[in-house]
A = this chain, B = another copy of it.
Amino acid sequence: MLHEIAHLAHIEIRTPVLDESVAFFTNYLGLTPNGEAGDSVFLRAWDDYENVTIKLTAHATSGVGRTYLRAASPEALDTRVKAIAATGRGIGWQDGDPGYGPTYVFTDPDGHELGLYYESSWYQAPPELKPALKNQAQAFPARGVSVRRLDHINYLGVDVEANRDYLRDTLGARVTEQIVLNDGSVAGSWTTFTNKGYDAVYTRDRTGTNGRLHHIAFATDTREDILKAADIALEQGVFIETGPHKHAIQQTFFLYVYEPGGNRIELCNAGARLVIAPDWQPVNWTEAERARGQAWGLKTIDSFHTHGTPPVEGAHL
């Protein structure tokens, strides 16, 4: 079942201040609005080939809505849906977002909602957004941070191992790195569907709440892009929680900010480091190693362990 999920696709984010959130994603991150439907606004990053990168939905609270994954083929979609259904976590088929085909909705053990699909009509840029090079989806915006693409999602989870196993056993995710506490339990799990070091992360929710979001992350090309992102955050009044600095885990260079709705957003550098070994063994970080701080010694700040955005009400646990 390895490689039957092609990649993490778009993510629905809930915000109590839709207009402000749209402005943040457009002017700070540099996404491009690409349509609306009901209470939702769709936006896209310039290097994503599909129609939607983020679906912003007006809601009473912040938090993550549905996370979409694209199957690698119609056959892969079929076999994965059967495997999910067999776990009892399937919710069923629904129409996809505009530009997307039938989507099978389900949850992870923590109650986060996911959607799996294969059919996707590639983004067709309107004339004013046509790129100069035909191997690119959309013109580079040169506005704000101008993030390249969605990079990963980091869920909070009550039982990291259960969620990790579910992604691995049901969707074929590979575990690349983990935090393993002295008692042997796993407090964090980084998993990938691609050659990137990770696409989906679970870290332990210290409040014991199900279904919360830690952050979603967007990729820039270089670390300098992320330093510029910090400069621009300062200028635009965007709240910087921590960073820029380098994680020891996955060696990601990071900046964490909050969008106006309260969701944590990471800027991270894309792809220089790849995991291509077919027999990669999970790298397990101990408490002692974690106590040294981030790669260059920065201590993890308290809010990083407490701030999460609320779960979807009535999520299917």
Contacts and interface: CB of A to CB of B under 8 A. Distances in A.
Given A195-B194, A231-B140, A278 B135 contact: no
Contact of A276 (B7, B131, B142, B231): B7
Size category, A interface? 35 or more
A39 to B, nearest CB: 29
Given A235-B132, A271-B270, A246 B223 contact: no
A11 to B, nearest CB: 15
A277 B2 contact: no
A33 interface: no
6 contacts: A73-B278, A142-B232, A148-B272, A196-B274, A231-B246, A242-B297
B296 A232 contact: no
Given A222-B221, A227-B253, A296-B240, A276 B133 contact: no
Most B C-beta atoms less than 10 A away, residue of A132, A133, A297:
A133
Given A3-B2, A235-B140, A133 B248 contact: yes
A136 interface: yes
Interface string A227-253: 110111111110010111110111101
Contacts of A148: 272-273
Contacts of A243: 296
Interface in A134-186: 134-136, 139-140, 142-145, 148, 177
Nearest to A286: B134
Contact of A142 (B135, B223, B235): B235
Interface of A: 2-3, 6-7, 47, 49, 70-73, 120, 122, 131-136, 139-140, 142-145, 148, 177, 194-196, 219, 221-224, 227-228, 230-237, 240, 242-246, 248-251, 253, 270-274, 276-279, 283, 285, 289, 295-298
A234 B296 contact: yes
A295 B222 CA distance: 20
Top 4 closest pairs, chain A to chain B, by CB = A271-B271, A221-B272, A6-B278, A195-B195
A285 to B, nearest CB: 8
B6 A277 contact: yes
Most B C-beta atoms less than 10 A away, residue of A122, A143, A296:
A296
